[in-house]
Amino acid sequence: MVAPAGSAFGVYLGHASPSDDAICQELARALQSAGVAQLHYEMMQQDRMNVMIVGELRGRPIHLYLLSSAALHSQMVRKFADAMDVLLAEDPLRGILPITVAPYDPAELWPSLRAYPCIEAAPGKPWPTAELIRRTLQTLALAPLPTISVVDRLRGDRGASPDAVTRAKALHWQGKDAEARAVLERATRDHPSFAGWYTLGALNEQQHLLPLAILAYEKALGIDPRHPWCWTKRAFALDQMRQYDAALDATGHALAIDPDHAGAWYTQGYILDDMNRLDEALAAYQRSLELDPTRVSAWSNMGITLRKMERLGEAEAAQRRALELSPDFASGWVNLANVLLDQQHYAAALEATQKALQLASDNPTFRYTQARALIGLQRYPAALAELQRCGNFPPATDLRARLLQAMGQ
């Protein structure tokens, strides 16, 4: 089973001991042979931690850690794992897969990794590299599952079955959402767990199956009611269904658990903006950014709120800050363009929309915004051509009709 061409399935593979380098290289070759094109592997180093977290780790949804005895006692590796646990709590469709290359005492495993099922070396037994690779590929849905005989099933022996939640995440990132859903639905039916329900909620939300997402988050919270990110995810899904009061209540639960939860403050700002409570939304975004000034979405959405409040200079500054943090944020360039259009800075707005279209050329909203900038520059034929490329996008259809009338056509 090979990840499809162009898949977003990316893997980071890290280890912390020179003695594990040979195993790491063999596993990397196996992953590449199985179709993982977006693979980065290395020996983790303290002086590269921030670069790795911002770059390689954020860009790859599945993180594998080879954990030797030396790695389990490394404070540097622990810091990596802690940082990734924070990142993955926000995005439950990402996954950590610890792989122990030698027997270990479970008490040695750091709290940030205990929530993630390991591929474990059997106690007191050698750990052949071929077995490590086979188990890893099966867990990542890159190799067939083991066949268990009827006799063994009757005995209750299911063999070394890979973690269903991690396998479902891998299937999702390979573009196989139907298979991922089937795995998670079976897992939550047979062995209900917080991780299973939380991941199923995120998968449903991404597919815009919002009632199912909310139900899954509620099931997860029934197992762990003090998980602020799950409350926050539930709040966002409720907001998308325009159940604003219930959504606001859910962020209140998250903030009661963790008053300094930047994600909950951001989501509360988003909900309050949707309720047109703009002053409160702005305060919530500002609090989120006090706690996490690198949150791109908070800068950009705060800019949208400021634009609604007609504080255009501040709105432009917020959008530019978002783009400083993430230059490839296509929607951010269009958000900036809208603020520039409001200020009649048409040439700068056109430049911003061009950058957005370089990142997402088939987005009709981006083309519509570019057409508005071209109209501001009185480049009417070019604007008409952009509007025609928007297809049946309603705002573009309306603007095209008005532009044709103005041009006497």
Statement: residue 3 has pLDDT above 50 = no
- DSSP annotation string for 129-182: HHHHHHHHHHHTTSSPPPP--HHHHHTT---SPPPHHHHHHHHHHTT-HHHHHH
What CATH number corresponds to the domain at position 359? Answer: 1.25.40.10
The count of C-alpha atoms lying within 13 angstroms of the C-alpha of 134, restricted to the half-sphere facing its C-beta, is 11
Angle at 50 between CA 325 and CA 19, to 5 degrees: 150
Residues 28 and 169 in one domain: yes
Tell me, yes or no, whether 333 lies in a domain: no
Residues 202 and 260 in one domain: no
Tell me, yes or no, whether 334 lies in a domain: no
Estimate to the nearest angstrom the gap between the alpha carbon of 3 and the chain centroid. Answer: 19
Residues 181 and 315 in one domain: no
Grouping H, G, I as helix, E, B as strand and the rest as coil, residue 191 is coil
Q: Confidence class of residue 409 from pLDDT cuts 50, 70 and 90? A: low
Statement: residue 54 has pLDDT above 70 = no
Statement: residue 180 has pLDDT above 80 = yes
Q: Can you tell me the mean pLDDT for 45-65?
A: 65
Residues 61 and 98 in one domain: yes
Phi, psi of 328 (to 5 degrees): -95, 15
Reported as a single tens digit per residue, the pLDDT across 20-41 is 888 889 999 999 999 888 888 8
Q: Confidence class of residue 268 from pLDDT cuts 50, 70 and 90? A: very high
The residue type of 42 is E
Q: Can you tell me the mean pLDDT for 249-273?
A: 98
Rounded Cα gap, residues 68 and 52, in angstroms: 21
Reported as a single tens digit per residue, the pLDDT across 106-154 is 666 667 676 677 787 666 666 788 888 998 999 999 988 876 544 444 4
The residue type of 5 is A
Tell me, yes or no, whether 68 lies in a domain: yes
> Out of 65-74, 118-127, 249-258, 297-306, which region has the weakest mean confidence (pLDDT)?
118-127
Counting the structural domains of the chain, the total is 4
Residues 70 and 48 in one domain: yes
In the prediction, which pLDDT does 48 show? 60
Reported as a single tens digit per residue, the pLDDT across 78-112 is 777 777 777 777 888 988 888 877 666 666 666 76
In the prediction, which pLDDT does 98 show? 82
Q: Can you tell me the mean pLDDT for 362-384?
A: 95
Contacts of 35 (CB under 8 A, 6+ apart): 1, 2, 3, 4, 7, 9, 142
Residues 253 and 323 in one domain: yes
Tell me, yes or no, whether 155 lies in a domain: no
Task: Determine the structural domain holding residue 191 and report its residue range.
Answer: 176-224
Tell me, yes or no, whether 4 lies in a domain: yes
Residues 299 and 401 in one domain: no
